Amino acid sequence: MSLVVTGATGQLGRLVVSSLLAKGVPADQIVALGRDEERLAALAALGVTTRRVDYADAAGLADALAGADRVLLISGSEVGRRLVQHQNVVDAAKAAGVGLLAYTSIANADTSGLALAAEHRATEEAIVASGLRHAFLRNSWYTDLYTGQVPTYVEHGAVLGAAGDGRVSAATRADLAEAAAAVLLLEEPRAVYELGGAAFTLAELAAAVGEATGTEVAYSDLPAEELTTVLVGAGLPEQYAAVLADADLGLGRGELYVDPADLQVLLGRPATTLAEALSATIGA
Ligand SMILES: NC(=O)c1ccc[n+]([C@@H]2O[C@H](COP(=O)([O-])OP(=O)(O)OC[C@H]3O[C@@H](n4cnc5c(N)ncnc54)[C@H](OP(=O)(O)O)[C@@H]3O)[C@@H](O)[C@H]2O)c1
């Protein structure tokens, strides 16, 4: 069995490779793809096969996927260029005749109004059109995106957002990676998984950060344009800031909410809670 993980040099991909190894997959059955030489070398040190390939390189992908039984396509990070890149992976997977193409998509990809969802929806459509057996891993937001901001929340005593009282089914990258590894190993995976943990509002996030750090942290709800301006002022590129503010609007509409059951079943336990993720971050 040859399992190929694309984007293995990224934060999620590295955790998928670790999860596969932890589940007992022999290292010589895992092929890790990415571009970054240093992170590929770190993966090679785990004993897995590594191949350097860009999603833009159709011929390189055909070589990298030859002989693969199952492939996990981890969505790329170059927003706006991803559909062509993902199509190259789909074409290479089709040419290789893989038995399963799993794809890390976004929560509620078929109906979501988030700007970020458009490329995911189009990729899902391309995968369906390929006729390959597939599993869409529709990941909600990473909890890590919030826990990574704890110092900023504490410094300002505030969580800023534009999500109103919408609930986000955030889950840790580690849990989503473990679930992806589980799907790669299932004999009969489903075509669609909606993956997220126990949902919370951004006001509940602020309260949980306050409790975990022993400080006063409140949620401040802003119009999306104002949030974009604040994020740009904090140093984010304008396009990225606008995408984040747009995602908050989608969160407010409930589009990052999913039932926690799919993730729980794949993990065989409840997903890591926000409070657990916060205490792990603060303890680290
Ligand atoms: N659910 C969420 O909250 C959320 C948040 C952010 C992103 N995402 C999506 O989930 C994906 C994985 O998340 P992550 O945290 O692991 O992101 P990440 O750390 O930025 O990793 C992105 C991975 O994609 C690879 N990649 C990007 N463009 C590529 C290209 N043109 N050719 C080949 N490889 C390419 C990178 O390879 P190199 O580093 O080797 O170049 C890296 O391995 C992201 O790429 C994004 O699509 C989800």
Name the residue type at position 74. I
Domain assignment present for residue 152? The answer is yes
Query: What is residue 87's three-state secondary structure?
Result: helix
C-alpha–C-alpha distance, residues 48 and 181, integer Å: 15
pLDDT of residue 215: 97
How far, in Å, is the centroid of ligand 1 from the Cα of 128? 22
pLDDT of residue 284: 82
pLDDT in tens, 209-248: 999 999 999 999 999 999 999 999 999 999 999 999 999 9
How far, in Å, is the centroid of ligand 1 from the Cα of 123? 15
CA-to-CA dists, residue 118 to 107, 110, 208, angstroms: 12, 9, 32
Does residue 119 sit in the same domain as residue 77?
yes
The torsion region of residue 54 among left (phi > 0), alpha (psi -120 to 50) and beta comes to beta
pLDDT in tens, 76-131: 999 999 999 999 999 999 999 999 999 999 999 999 999 999 999 999 999 999 99
Residue whose Cα lies nearest atom 1 of ligand 1: it is: 141
Does residue 150 sit in the same domain as residue 276?
yes
Cβ neighbours of residue 223 closer than 8 Å, sequence gap 6 or more: 162
Does residue 24 sit in the same domain as residue 87?
yes
Cα-based angle 134, 140, 141 (whole degrees, multiple of 5):
135
Structural Rg of the chain based on CA atoms: 19
Does residue 64 sit in the same domain as residue 167?
no
Domain assignment present for residue 180? The answer is no
Cβ neighbours of residue 279 closer than 8 Å, sequence gap 6 or more: 212
Does residue 115 sit in the same domain as residue 230?
no
Give me the domain span that covers residue 162.
140-172+197-258+269-284
Does residue 61 sit in the same domain as residue 201?
no
How far, in Å, is the centroid of ligand 1 from the Cα of 157? 30
Would you say residue 283 has pLDDT above 90? no
Give the 3-state secondary structure percentages of the chain, helix then strand then coil, rounded to 5.
50, 15, 35
Domain assignment present for residue 224? The answer is yes
Would you say residue 258 has pLDDT above 90? yes
How far, in Å, is the centroid of ligand 1 from the Cα of 89? 14
Q: Are 16 and 177 in contact (CB under 8 A)?
A: yes
Domain assignment present for residue 281? The answer is yes
Does residue 161 sit in the same domain as residue 248?
yes
Does residue 103 sit in the same domain as residue 217?
no
| Burial (CB count <10 Å: 0-12, 13-18, 19+), residue 129 | exposed
Does residue 10 sit in the same domain as residue 129?
yes
Atom from ligand 1 closest to the CA of residue 7:
43
CA-CA-CA-CA torsion sign (277, 146, 137, 101)? negative
pTM: 0.98
Does residue 71 sit in the same domain as residue 167?
no
pLDDT of residue 23: 98
Phi and psi at 239, nearest 5°, equal: -65, -40
* Average pLDDT of every residue of the chain: 98
Q: Which of 95, 124, 139 is the last residue of a domain?
A: 139
Look at the chain and report how many structural domains it folds into: 2
C-alpha–C-alpha distance, residues 268 and 161, integer Å: 33
CATH number at residue 153: 3.90.25.10
pLDDT tier, 138 (very low <50, low <70, confident <90, very high otherwise): very high
C-alpha–C-alpha distance, residues 227 and 22, integer Å: 41
How far, in Å, is the centroid of ligand 1 from the Cα of 109? 17
Domain assignment present for residue 179? The answer is no
According to DSSP, the residues that pair with 3 across neighbouring strands are 30, 70
Does residue 88 sit in the same domain as residue 113?
yes
Domain assignment present for residue 123? The answer is yes
What is the DSSP track for 175-226? HHHHHHHHHHH-SS--SEEEE--S-B-HHHHHHHHHHHHTS--EEEE--HHH
CATH number at residue 91: 3.40.50.720
Domain assignment present for residue 192? The answer is no
How far, in Å, is the centroid of ligand 1 from the Cα of 75? 6
- What strands lie across the sheet with 49-52, from one edge to the other? 49-52, 30-34, 3-5, 70-73, 100-106, 134-139, 192-195
Angle between helices 224-233 and 238-252 (to 10 degrees): 140
C-alpha 76 chain-centroid distance: 10
Atom from ligand 1 closest to the CA of residue 79:
47
Does residue 86 sit in the same domain as residue 156?
no
Q: Which residues have CB under 6 Å of ligand 1?
A: 7, 9-13, 34-36, 39, 54-56, 74-78, 85, 104, 139, 141-142, 145, 173
Domain assignment present for residue 264? The answer is no
